[in-house]
Structure 1
Amino acid sequence: MFSIVEMVVVLVAAALMTTVAIKEDAAKRRAQVMTAEGQNEAVINSALSDWVTNNYATLTAGGPVAVVANPPTLNDLFTQGNLKQPHAPGPFWGGAYVISMSVGPATCTASNGDCHVTYVMYPSKPLTRGGVPDIVGASQIAQAGGNAFGYSKTQNAGTITGLNGAWTATNPLGNVPAAILATNGPTSDGNSVYIRRDGALTWTGDQNVNHVSLHNVHDLDAEGTVSAANVGATGAVAASGAVAAGTSVTAGTTVTAGTTIGMGSVGWPRTACPAVNAMAGASDGSGLILSCQKLSGVLQWMPVGGQKLWYGYTSILSGAGTYVPNPECPAGGTPGIVVSGQSMYTDPTATINYPTSGTGPWTVYITDGSGAIIDGRAVASTFCSY
């Protein structure tokens, strides 16, 4: 049998244990509430970041703005799809979620693409417990929110400090402990480092797309050289400068150049070519333009003007011999000459001849059937044959 004293001791101990358990359970439940609040604010902050991304061009179009006049409300975030479900307008301890934005720095311009959007989101009231600032609870909320969150402490309460001291910001509530704030900066928007789909920011360096394709491009403008292994176009290809291709440029209609079109030095007369109508420059750098032609069933490079390119005309004014210069034949062409009579005097029964000497240059004569030089006039036409 227990004595009355022993029974009293047991009852008191049981009451104390119950009280401790209740306090521990209450602390545990409050920590869960703080965690849920932090996670809830993190969702709002993430939606706010998405909203800034979607509205970046509009926000930065006017350059620096100290305070954005109409930042989004929680209802805006929901109706525009950034929040997947409606949220309460404020935290469980009262007040409202406040959103503030600015565009800076003060020297930025929309044309330079160096403006950033800075925003903060915070409860309008500090977290309290029994009328006293709850620093521990604010810490739990910030930790559940993530690295974008911070809170003010008892010392230096006018400053919001990010987790692990990663950043600091001015406390929007003043010199008040247990204020909670989420930010994306506070000096950058966190999105400007990416290639934006709305074109609000310009690239600041060369890009390497790692051999992947770009599809459905409307216009492609270049201030310098456009180099490609193969260019295919269903419309016009226009260039004010150089268009360089490793193999071919294919267009459905026309290729238009503001100045000149240069041929690659890849061809040589009478050598094999890839396809009819292909064009190339002679590989000796002479500037002779070649086209791929089908001759006797064989594809081969030939001059655009044909197998004979006519270069000059020399008047033959005397049968005694006239000097005719030879053309400088590019790409290994063979010089040739044709003499056509214009007038002459001879015995009507005699034969008229226009003999030449040399392989270029030449000397052209006018003779009769017996080889005697006679008076007359003729024209010598020179050419290059391939």
Structure 2
Amino acid sequence: MFSIVEMVVVLVAAALMTTVAIKEDAAKRRAQVMTAEGQNEAVINSALSDWVTNNYATLIAGGPVAVVASPPTLNDLFTQGNLKQPHAAGPFWGGSYVISMSVGPATCTASAGDCHVTYVMYPSKPLTRGGVPDIVGASQIAQAGGNSFGYSKTQNAGTITGLNGAWTANNPLGNVPAAILATNGPTSDGNSVYIRRDGALTWTGDQNVNHVSLHNVHDLDAEGTVSAANVGATGAVAASGAVAAGTTVTAGTTVTAGTTIGMGSVGWPRTACPAVNAMAGASDGSGLVLSCQKVSGVLQWMPIGGPKLWYGYTAIPDGNGTFVPNPVCPAGGTPGIVVSGQSTYTDPTASIHYRVDGTGPWTVYIVDGSPGDNTVIPGTAVATTYCSY
């Protein structure tokens, strides 16, 4: 049997072991609480970052601001959808979560797009345990929060140091150990390398969209050249300069140009064309404008004015022979002439004929009799010339 002394020794050892186990369990549970607090603050910090991104254009609109007058509250983050659930107003040891932000640097401007939004989020009271700053607990909270978190130590307590010494910031609580603070850092303030959907920042270089499509574009303004293989528009296409297209420009209503609309020299009269109302320039570079018309059921390029383009007229002052110059017909046109009488004098028993000699230029006579008669009679007429296709 055990002696009384031996039993006392066993009981004391068991009590010591129980005490150690209780302390270890309490330490474990406290570490779990610190981790949960750090994760909770990380969720708030992430939501705050989203809020800054969503409101970036408004925040930088006025340029640099030392202290933003109305930073969001936790309730704002929840009601605007940045926080998925409501959060307590402060940490478990008391106080509240404080949010502060600024826009800088002092030389930035909204137009230049070089403003940054800096924010901090921190509990209004340091972490304590038994009335003493709990540096270990603050470290556990920061570790659970991530790289955006830091805490103040006993030495140099007026400075918050990020994890692994990555960054430092002034302690907003003063020269106090165990203060915990989260910040967005220099690159997560909405001013990122991505194209912002709210248009707050202007592009600083040429863009290559890698052959993908842009859909549902409202207005497209260009100071330089717009080049496209095909342009299809359901509304008006307005250009103050040149519009160059490799193939077709299609508009649902109107194509308006501030100066000129140029067409490629690709057509030739009486040759096949692609579709009714298509337009082209004559391939000889003469400037003759052709439209695609259906002639006898066949689509052909034809001058816009029709198969005969009238060029001018020459007065025939008398019947003794007047020289009429022929027009220079572009795109292989054939010159032609029509003579219309104005006044004549002849034997009532005879007939009046306008004799035209030549195929262009011509000489026009007013004669009495049949076409072969050379009896010239007094009179006047007008000769109108044209090009036939």
TM-score band by shorter chain is 0.7 to 0.9
Tell me the equivalent position of 2:387: 384
In structure 2, relative to structure 1, the CA distance for the partners of 1:23 and 1:332 (3 Å cut) is farther
Q: Are 2:52 and 2:190, in contact at CA under 8 Å, matched by a contact in 1?
A: no
Mapped partners of 1:73, 1:345: distance in 2: 106
Moved over 6 A (4+): none
Q: CA deviation at 1:87?
A: 1.4
> Is 1:8 paired with 2:8?
yes
What secondary structure does 2:331 align onto? coil
Deviation at 1:290, TM superposition (A): 1.6
> What's the offset of the Cα at 1:232?
4.0
What is the CA RMSD across the aligned residues, in angstroms? Answer: 3.2
Summarize the Cα distance change of 1:328–1:161 in structure 2 as closer, same or farther, 3 Å threshold.
farther
Q: Answer whether contact 2:53 2:189 (CA < 8 A) is retained.
A: no
CA deviation digits over 1:167-223, x for unaligned, max 9? 332222233333221111247614454433433333333344444444444444333
Q: Write the distance in 1 (CA, Å) between the matches of 2:32 and 2:329.
A: 93
Give the CA deviation at 1:267.
Answer: 2.7
User: Where do 5+ consecutive residues of structure 2 fail to align?
Assistant: none
Aligned to 1:350: 350
Q: Secondary structure of 1:365's match?
A: strand
Q: Is the 8 A contact 1:184 1:190 kept in 2?
A: no
Aligned-pair CA distance for 1:345: 5.7
Asked whether the equivalents of residues 237 and 256 of structure 1 are also in contact (C-alpha less than 8 Å), the reply is yes
3-state secondary structure, aligned to 1:355: strand
Displacement after TM superposition at 1:165 (Å): 3.5
Per-residue deviation, 1:344: 5.2
Task: Return closer, same or farther for 1:48/1:344 CA change in 2, 3 Å cut-off.
Answer: same
Q: Go from structure 1 to structure 2 and tell me whether the alpha carbon gap of 1:263 and 1:17 turns closer, same or farther (over 3 Å shift).
A: same
Point out the more displaced range, 82-91 or 110-119: 110-119
Could you tell me how far apart the structure 2 residues matched to 1:169 and 1:332 are?
84
Deviates more, 1:39-48 or 1:27-36: 27-36
Pair 24,316 (structure 1): closer, same or farther in 2 beyond 3 Å: same
Superimposed CA distance per residue, residues 89-118 of structure 1 (whole angstroms, 9 cap, x where no aligned partner): 111222221100111222233344433222
Secondary structure class of the residue paired with 1:208 = coil
Q: CA deviation at 1:297?
A: 0.4
Residue deviations 1:322-356 (CA, integer Å, cap 9, x gap): 44333232333233333334445666666655455
Q: What displacement does 1:263 show?
A: 2.9
- Give distance in 2, aligned partners of 1:153 and 1:60: 34
Matched, 1:218 2:218: yes
Aligned length: 386
Contact 1:116 1:188 in 2 (8 A): no
1:224-243 CA-to-partner distances (Å, cap 9, x unmatched) read 34444444444444333344
- Determine if contact 1:118/1:187 at 8 Å carries over to the other structure: no
TM-score by length of 1: 0.85
CA shift for structure 1 position 384 = 1.9
Does the 8 Å contact 2:308/2:387 carry over to 1? yes
For structure 1, which segment, 343-352 or 147-156, has the greater mean C-alpha deviation from structure 2 after superposition? 343-352
Deviation at 1:70, TM superposition (A): 1.4
Q: Once structures 1 and 2 are overlaid, which stretch shifts more, 28-37 or 257-266? A: 257-266
Q: Structure 1's 35 and 376: CA in aligned 2 closer, same or farther, altered over 3 A?
A: same
Q: Identity across aligned pairs (percent)? A: 92
Post-superposition offset of 1:25: 2.3
1:376 shift after superposition: 4.8
In structure 2, relative to structure 1, the CA distance for the partners of 1:85 and 1:314 (3 Å cut) is same
User: Mean Cα displacement is larger for which, 106-115 or 305-314?
Assistant: 106-115
Measured in 2, the distance between the counterparts of 1:77 and 1:301 equals: 67
Q: In 2, are the aligned partners of 1:125 and 1:179 still within 8 Å (CA)?
A: yes
**Aligned equivalents of 1:273 and 1:15: distance in 2?**
105
Contact kept in structure 2, 1:291 and 1:302, CA below 8 Å: yes
* CA drift at 1:306: 0.4
> Partners of 2:9 and 2:358 in 1: how far apart?
139
Gaps of 5+ in 1: none
Range 227-236 or range 285-294, more displaced = 227-236
TM-score, normalisation: structure 2: 0.84
Q: Deviations over 1:311-332 (max 9, x none)?
A: 1222344656544333232333
Q: 1:289 to 1:30 in 2, by over 3 A?
A: same
The alpha carbon displacement at 1:119 in A equals 1.1
User: Against the structure 1 CA distance between its residues 95 and 316, is the aligned structure 2 distance closer, same or farther, given a 3 Å change threshold?
Assistant: same
